[in-house]
Amino acid sequence: MSAFCLHAAILASLVQIASTQASLTLEERIKALEAENAKLRAGAGVAATQAPANELSAADKDDSAKSATEEEMFTSIPLQKQYVPVMVDGKVIAYKAAYFGTVSVGTPASQFTVVFDTGSGNFILPSMQCTSETCHKHRRYDRLTSASAVDVEYDGTKIAADATERDQVTVAFGTGEIQGEFVEDAVCFGVERQHCATARMILAAEMTDDPFGMFEFDGVLGLGLKALTLAPEFSIISQMLQAHKTMKPQFAVYLGRYDGDESAISFGGYDPSRFVSTVKWAPVWRPELGYWQVQIKRIRMGDVVLEECETGGCRAIFDTGTSLLGVPRAFTRTMHRGLARLLPQDVPTEDAANVDCRTVPGRSIQFDLGEQVISLGVEDYSRPAPSNVTMPRKDGVAAWKMFCRSILLPVDPMEPIGSKVFIFGEPVLRRYYTVYDVEKKQIGFAAAAPARQEGGGLPVIGAPPAGSQVAGVGSPLPASARTSGEVRV
């Protein structure tokens, strides 16, 4: 999926309002829900989610230590992966991918699946008022069935029952947009409603088919910083921290290395069992821009330095809504050439087309962030199928050779960040466990641990056939060809 790059504009629009009064205040209802769920969990003998132990540095042990009260504020939400084929002339040429989990909204609570997106800042769900085919593919939020819902303007002003107009918003993503209105309601992580808060959200009355009609998730829960939100009240993580003072101001993402492996996002801290090295931290560059981005000091492809970053200005955005490694458009030719490699000479010509390039040795990509280095191998960036490339010869007769090539997502200039923007999407997030510190404005990362149990995650939706060589990083790799997963940090 393309990066969720947000911009929003408040539009005046005439609409007819249907409004009901909440029987309880949001705060009263949330407290009642949490008390009820606490009793149910205690009766069933269900303990609060706790982070398993692992060998940590002294700093990590101190950072991850929690009191009994704080332990209750840690929650983990399983993520499910979905592939969507990209078709041209009726033929599958590539795959997009997304990960999504469940949240509960309203009173009584209804469950919705959402992409937890670090590249945007607002919470968006399809509205019952949206009657398009795209919206009908998803579960739609009905504010009339929630006793805790309040119609509001974008600034939180309650809308009078006799109002004839209200604010609307248009939110543009990398490959589509939504148009909607605003409501305030109770939002809870997961299906057990352990963590709830009052928050504003955008109810989409219109949604483009791309990408929303292509995927099964219902909406988007933005986890970007303040600048990517319409207002702080639209940030679910900010509202959770305000409602739960003992909640640690961190969330963390673990993506399974291979299809079928467990993936999860945690709130209120991080899970030491998910990584095998010390967590290293990098400060967010210009957090006032809203993105979880870091500075890149140098990039190497093997022992070759990417000269374009030597003069400075290269940045990387950690984006859970992007399924590829994003590269500045101006750099793509240089990087494609630097990462290309011939098939081994001992491969018979008749077998060349069947070679999986993710198993063919090549250069690693090393992103030097200063004190830390993020490294990707051929398995992370290669197109599975080799390409037939025509090579000129001295005698003027053209010849062809089979090359392994990289799959990179061109990124256009992003003002005011600049033209040297990389996007760390799924290839990086499957290699590294990432922690996002909302308070300190820093990103921690460590080498991701292998899956606790191979194939122990939620079922993959739309997975390519076994042995598929259609482009799409993360598509199934034969078990016999998988690497040890060792990375440099």
The tokens of 46 are what? 């269900």
462 neighbors 85 (Cβ within 8 angstroms): yes
Residue 22 has pLDDT above 60, yes or no: no
Residue 232 has pLDDT above 60, yes or no: yes
| Cα–Cα distance list, 448 to 256, 264, 283 (Å) | 9, 12, 20
CATH topology of domain 7-33+51-267: Cathepsin D, subunit A; domain 1 (2.40.70)
486 compared with 454, residue with greater pLDDT: 454
Cα separation of 385 and 389, whole Å? 13
Residue 37 has pLDDT above 80, yes or no: no
Under the banding of pLDDT at 50, 70 and 90, the label for residue 259 is: confident
pLDDT of residue 368: 97
pLDDT of residue 172: 82
The tokens of 412 are what? 């256009």
Give Rg (Cα) of the chain: 24
Which residues are CB-contacts of 351 (< 8 A; sequence separation ≥ 6)?
none
Under the banding of pLDDT at 50, 70 and 90, the label for residue 395 is: low
Q: What's the whole-number mean pLDDT along residues 103-129?
A: 95
Q: What's the whole-number mean pLDDT along residues 86-99?
A: 84
pLDDT of residue 8: 35
Same CATH topology for 7-33+51-267 and 273-481? Answer: yes
pLDDT of residue 171: 86
Q: What's the whole-number mean pLDDT along residues 94-113?
A: 94
Under the banding of pLDDT at 50, 70 and 90, the label for residue 394 is: low
Mean pLDDT of the chain: 82
Side chain identity, residue 17: I
116 neighbors 221 (Cβ within 8 angstroms): yes
pLDDT of residue 72: 54
| Cα–Cα distance list, 113 to 205, 291, 466 (Å) | 18, 23, 27
Cα separation of 358 and 54, whole Å? 31
Q: In b/e form, how buried is each residue of 418-455, taking b as 16+ CB within 10 angstroms?
A: ebbbbbbbbbbbbbbbbbbbbeeebbbbbbbbebeeee
Residues of the chain with pLDDT > 90: what percent? 58
Q: What are phi and psi of 87, to 5 degrees?
A: -105, 140
**Which of 21-30, 167-176, 190-199, 369-378 ranks highest by mean pLDDT?**
369-378
Q: By three-state DSSP, how is residue 138 classified?
A: coil
**Which of 1-5, 290-294, 355-359 ranks highest by mean pLDDT?**
290-294
pLDDT of residue 345: 82
- Reference 190, options 82, 266, 107, 270; nearest CA is 266
Cα separation of 237 and 343, whole Å? 48
Residue 78 has pLDDT above 90, yes or no: yes
Q: What's the whole-number mean pLDDT along residues 279-294?
A: 97
Q: What's the whole-number mean pLDDT along residues 414-430?
A: 94
The domain ranges of the chain are 7-33+51-267, 273-481
Q: What's the whole-number mean pLDDT along residues 378-397?
A: 80
302-356 confidence digits (pLDDT tens) = 999 999 999 999 999 999 999 899 999 999 999 999 999 999 888 887 788 888 8
Question: Exposed, middle or buried, 16 (CB in 10 Å: 0-12/13-18/19+)?
Answer: exposed
54-66 confidence digits (pLDDT tens) = 444 444 444 443 4
Name the maximum alpha-carbon separation found in the chain.
Answer: 85
CATH topology of domain 273-481: Cathepsin D, subunit A; domain 1 (2.40.70)
- Which pTM does this prediction carry? 0.83
